[in-house]
Amino acid sequence: MDTVLVGGTVFLVAAGAIFLGIDRIGKSDMPERRKRLLTYALMGGLIVLTVGIFHWHRAVYMAAYTAGS
C-alpha cells in the first residue's frame, strides 16, 4: 500500500476543508472569542491528523521492512 500517496491525499483534502471552515468562521458574526477557539480547535485537529498520518506510515513501513529480518 502506498501510504505516502494516501496520507498526502487525506492531508490535502482535510487541510482544504479546515481552511475553508476557518474562512467561514472568520466571516461569521460569532463573538471573537468563539471564533478564535474554533480556529485553534481546527488547527489542533489538523496537527493531530498529521501526527496520525506519520504514525500510520511509520507502522506500515516498519511492518513491511522489518518482517524479513
pLDDT tens readout for residues 3-12: 899 999 999 9
Q: What is the model's pTM?
A: 0.85
Instruction: Give the domain ranges of the chain.
Output: 3-64
The backbone region for 2, taken as left when phi is positive above 0, alpha when psi lies in -120 to 50, beta otherwise, is beta
pLDDT tens readout for residues 34-65: 999 999 999 999 999 999 999 999 999 998 88
pLDDT tens readout for residues 20-31: 999 999 999 999
Alpha helices in 1-69 (DSSP H): 3-27, 32-66
Can you read off the three cell numbers belonging to residue 51?
501526527
> pLDDT at position 33, please?
97
Map grid coordinates 513491511 to a residue: 64
